[in-house]
Amino acid sequence: MTNDFNNGLNSEKLRSILRSLAAEKKVKQWDLGASCSKDHFVQVDKGEAKQLKASQRSSITIRVWNNDGLVGTTSTSDLSKGGIEKAFVGAFQASQFGNPNDIPDFSPLAKSELPKLSKKLYSFKGIKKLLELLRTAEYELLNKHHAIQNIPYNGLAESEFQRIYLNSEGASRNIKSTHANLYLYARAEENNNKPRSSGAIRIANGIDELDINGCIEEAAKRTIDHLNYRPIDTGKYLVCFTPEAFIELIGAFSNMFNARAVIDGVSLSTKESLGTKISVEELSIYDDSIHPSNVNACSFDGEGTPTKKLCLINKGILENFVHSESTAKQFGVSPTGHAGMGSKVSVGIDWLVISGDTVNPSKSKFNHKEYKDKFILIEGLNALHAGVKGSQGSFSLPFNGWIVDQGQRISIEAATVAGDIREVLNNIIHIEKEQQVTHQGISPHVWVDRLSITGEE
C-alpha cells in the first residue's frame, strides 16, 4: 500500500517504472501525464471554523500503443508500483478497443522549448493562518452593512501543484506551481424584501498576493447594491455585459473554437468556417494561456505541447481553432497547446482575452459609466451548465444585473436573458476600450442590442 510519490512526483523514477513495464509487456510506445497536489481549505460561519480541509492527491494517466498501433488509456490515483502496473496493464487491454480511424501520436512539439512563465512559488501558510484571515474577512464583510446577515458561501484555500509529462521518446515536462483563492458570497435582507445574494472571487499565486480587501469590498458592494430591486418587464433591451459576464458567455460557447468539436460535428463551426466573418469587425478574441494574469497558467498541455497566445477571432474573422496533436494532424496544422490526455484527446480553451475597441474607441456614446438612456447592465450569468445549448447556439440564462436609466442604477429582481450566440456576436454595437482582468480572462464592457429578457411577474 506504499505510495512512492507522497513528497512530489519524481520524473526519473516514473520513467524507470514505465520503461521496465513497457519492456516486460513488449510495448514500444507509451506516454504518461501525472499530477500531484496538496491543498488547505477553510470555511467559517460567524467567526467559528465551519470546515477545515486538507488533501494530498496524486494521479497518473498512462497511454500505450499496442502492436497494431491502437491506443489505450487508464488513469489511477494509486501510485504504488503495483498501482502503476495495474494501470499499465489496463491501458494495454483498453488499446484493443482503440479507434483505428483516429489514432493519436506524440505531439511533434513535445520536446520543443517551453515558454517562460514568471510565476512565483509561495510557501504554505497553514490552516491556522488561513482561518485567521478568513475570520477577519468574514467579520469585515458582515460589518459593511446591517442587512448582510451571513456569508453562507465562503472559502479560503491554498494549494501546491505539480504536473509532469513523459513519453517513450524522451520528452520530459515538469512544472510546479502554487495557488490561492478566496470567495465570499454574502446574503442580505432588509425591509421584508426578498433575500439577495452576491459576492466576489480572488485568485492569486499565493496567499500573500491575494487581494483580500478587494474581495471584501467587491462582495459588499455587489450585495448592498442589489438590496433595493424592482422587477423588469419582459421584452427586448439594449444590454451591456460586464467583462466577467461577457467572458462567461463566450466561454460557454467555446466549442465554436474547438477543433475536436468541429470534427465530431457538435461545434457551431465547421472546417469551412475558418476565414469567414462570424462577428462584427470590432471584435477580436485570443486564447492566451500564458498571460501573466492567468494564475493557472501551465507552460505545456496534456500532450507536452508548449502553450501560447492564439488568435481565435481577428476583427470579426474566425482565424484559428484550438488543437490537440490529433486534430491538428487532421487540419494540417501544428498543435496549439490545448490538449488534455486520453485515448480520445479532449481539447479546450484556457484564458480568453477580448480586445478593446481599437477602431472607434472614443467616438461611441456607449460607455457604461456615461450612457444616459435606458439600458440593462448584466453583471454575471448563472446556471450556464443548464441554460446553454452549446451545439445549437442558444442560451437562456438567469443573471444578476441592473436597469440603468439616466445614470441611475436599480437592481433587477429576477430575470433571464435569452438569445443565440451567433446573433449576439453580430449584434454587438460597441466594445469599450478599457479591458478588465477577471478570474476567468480579460475583457472590456460589451454592448449588444435587442436581447430578450424575461422578468419574473
Partner 1 sequence: MKNPSEFIASVNSQWKSTLESLLSTGKRSGADFIEIFIENIDNINILAEQDLITSVTPSFGKGAGIRVFLDKKDGFVSTNDLSEKGLSEALEEALGMLGLEPCKSNCLYFDGLHQIRDYGIEKENWLYQCPDLLESTEKILLGTNNIKNYGKHITVRRGSYSRTFQEVLIASSDGTYARDIRLHQSIGLNVLASDRTNRSSIGRRYGSSDQPDDLSKWDPEKSAQDICESSNKMLYADYVEAGQKPVILSNKFGGVIFHEACGHLLETTQIERGTSPFSEKLNKQIANKSVTAVDEGISKGAFGSMSIDDEGMEPQRTVLIEKGVLKRFISDRAGEMRTGHKRTGSGRRQNHTFAAASRMRNTYIMAGKYTPKELIDSVDNGIYCKSMGGGSVGPTGQFNFSVEEGYIIKEGKLTEPVKGATLIGEAKEILPRISMCANDMDLAAGFCGSISGNIYVTVGQPHIKVDSITIGGR
Closer by beta carbon to partner 1, 138 or else 288: 138
Least distance to partner 1, CB of residue 369, Å: 28
Least distance to partner 1, CB of residue 172, Å: 23
CA 238/CA 148 separation, integer angstroms: 31
Closer by beta carbon to partner 1, 113 or else 457: 457
Which run of H or of E encompasses 375?
strand 375-381
Closer by beta carbon to partner 1, 48 or else 370: 48
DSSP tag of 277: B
3-state helix, strand, coil split of the chain in percent (to 5) is 25, 35, 40
- Cβ neighbours of 23 (radius 10 Å): 10
Task: Give the three-class secondary structure for 268.
Answer: coil
Least distance to partner 1, CB of residue 383, Å: 4
DSSP tag of 191: T
Least distance to partner 1, CB of residue 96, Å: 8
Supply the Cα-derived Rg of the chain in whole angstroms: 24
Least distance to partner 1, CB of residue 141, Å: 15
Q: Is 365 exposed, middle or buried (0-12, 13-18, 19+ CB in 10 A)?
A: exposed
Question: How far are the Cα atoms of 63, 64, 408, 418, 423 from residue 452, in angstroms, in the given order?
Answer: 47, 50, 22, 5, 12
Grid cell 504518461 — which residue?
32
Closer by beta carbon to partner 1, 110 or else 232: 232
Partners of 33 in the β-ladder: 61, 165
Least distance to partner 1, CB of residue 356, Å: 29
Closer by beta carbon to partner 1, 118 or else 191: 191
Closer by beta carbon to partner 1, 111 or else 145: 145
Least distance to partner 1, CB of residue 454, Å: 4
Closer by beta carbon to partner 1, 221 or else 344: 344
Which run of H or of E encompasses 436?
strand 436-437
